[in-house]
């Protein structure tokens, strides 16, 4: 083989070592995956985590090398005993560093509308949760942290449209009106 050939052709092991070295130095992102679940009246399912203030959407952090949609499904099942088909990504939100945390990527997936039978089976499975409730969209401001409320509002807006919304700290990058709040 010609010495002019690229490294990946000349020496695949050296190429993999080169890639591994780069991978070890690159930034790692925490990934969270929440699920927007509604009832037939359009209210949003919220959970009350025991380990932090304010209400939140069901979901949580992805495990190492776990796809976000898989994490969302796993978390909802672990928290509330619901084995839901996870729909499309509604929001991808970059969250800047805050407190002791590095930046992260947060996803909200469409969990659909629960039917009466599913509502009747809804219960807390995970001791990390204190309670759950459904809240009308106009109640969210009083229950969610501001950046979470913005992210949830972006997800609700996306449901009315057809494209995933990319946000930074809950503000839609594609909708400048979201920064006027």
pLDDT of 2: 65
pLDDT tens digit sequence for 75-117: 999 999 999 999 999 999 999 998 898 999 999 999 999 998 8
Q: Is 100 helix (H, G, I), strand (E, B) or coil?
A: coil
pLDDT at 1 over 70: no
pLDDT of 27: 82
Tokens encoding 98: 């805050």
pLDDT at 176 over 70: no
pTM, rounded to two decimals: 0.85
As a whole number of angstroms, the distance between CA 72 and CA 150 comes to: 19
DSSP 8-state secondary structure symbol assigned to residue 144: S
Q: State the pLDDT confidence band at 9, using cuts at 50, 70 and 90.
A: confident
**Count of all residues that appear for the chain in the document:** 181
CATH of 29-180, one of 3.30.70.20, 3.30.505.10, 3.30.457.10, 3.90.79.10: 3.90.79.10
pLDDT of 179: 55
Mean pLDDT of the chain: 90
pLDDT tens digit sequence for 25-69: 888 889 999 999 999 999 999 999 999 989 999 999 999 999 999
As a whole number of angstroms, the distance between CA 21 and CA 16 comes to: 9
R_g over Cα of the chain: 20
**Contact call for residues 76 and 58 (beta carbons, < 8 A):** yes
**Contact call for residues 66 and 58 (beta carbons, < 8 A):** no
Domains of the chain by residue range: 29-180
Tokens encoding 66: 């776990």
pLDDT of 10: 82
């Amino acid at each position: 083989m010609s010495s002019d050939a690229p490294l990946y052709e000349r020496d695949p092991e050296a190429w993999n070592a080169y890639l591994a070295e780069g991978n070890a130095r690159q930034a790692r992102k925490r990934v969270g995956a929440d699920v927007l679940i509604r009832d037939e009246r359009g209210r949003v399912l919220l959970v009350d985590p025991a380990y932090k203030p304010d209400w939140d959407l069901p979901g949580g952090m992805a495990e190492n090398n776990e796809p976000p949609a898989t994490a969302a499904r796993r978390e909802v099942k672990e928290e509330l005993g619901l084995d839901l088909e996870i729909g499309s990504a509604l929001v991808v939100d970059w969250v800047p560093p805050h407190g002791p945390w590095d930046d992260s990527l947060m996803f909200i997936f469409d969990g659909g509308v629960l039917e009466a039978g599913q509502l009747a089976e809804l219960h807390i499975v995970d001791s990390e949760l204190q309670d759950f409730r459904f809240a009308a969209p106009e109640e969210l401001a009083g229950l969610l942290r501001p950046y979470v409320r913005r992210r949830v509002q972006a997800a609700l807006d996306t449901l009315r449209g057809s494209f995933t919304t990319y946000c930074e700290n809950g503000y839609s990058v594609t909708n400048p009106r979201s920064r006027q709040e």
